[in-house]
Copies of this chain bind each other. A is one copy, B any other.
Amino acid sequence: MPDPTLLEMAIESAGRRLTRPRRAVAALIDARDGAFSAADLVADARGQRLGIGRATIFRAIELLAEIGALERIDLPTGDHAYVPCGPAHHHHVVCRRCSRSVEIGDLGLAALARDIARKTGYRIDEHRLELFGLCPDCRRVGAPA
């Protein structure tokens, strides 16, 4: 197994077993380069006749999300998708056509959250910012939708 991927290393350094099915799921995710749904991975696995069980794929996604190598985002449609990402606090910009996403840093949001906390009296524990649009490639190629 040359060239252990980032996802594989993340699993290992989290002290979880690096099993064949998990490697396979990691490979599927790497092959995707963008946000994907659980159903996408299930379809990919079936298409490649990997003998990966449906439940295993969901469990692998759950695991990767737990260790912070994956994050669930909520599409404007209400569907769930997942994006691979690093451990630091950040947010995502997702292309609504090709699903490629980039991470962006905090960008002053923490300060904004504090501001909101002060104004509303709420204690803010958690926030989520998601941005959707067209990536540079899709802007060029497609109609400006």
Is A143 interfacial (CB-CB < 8 Å)? no
* A96 to B96 CA separation, bound complex (whole angstroms): 29
Nearest chain-B residue to A137 (Cβ)? B121
Taking a contact as CB atoms under 8 Å apart, the answer to whether B112 and A135 are in contact is: no
Q: A78-B72, A127-B131 are in contact. Are A107 and B102 (CB under 8 A)?
A: no
* A78 to B116 CA separation, bound complex (whole angstroms): 23
Is A19 interfacial (CB-CB < 8 Å)? no
* A128 to B76 CA separation, bound complex (whole angstroms): 9
Nearest chain-B residue to A96 (Cβ)? B125
* A80 to B116 CA separation, bound complex (whole angstroms): 23
Tell me the number of copies of this protein.
Answer: 2
Q: Per-residue CB proximity of A42-77 to B under 8 Å, as 1/0?
A: 000000000000000000000000000000101010
Residue pairs across A and B with Cβ atoms less than 8 A apart, 11 shown, are A74-B128, A95-B122, A104-B116, A121-B136, A121-B139, A123-B139, A124-B132, A125-B132, A125-B133, A126-B132, A128-B131
* A65 to B100 CA separation, bound complex (whole angstroms): 28
Nearest chain-B residue to A129 (Cβ)? B129
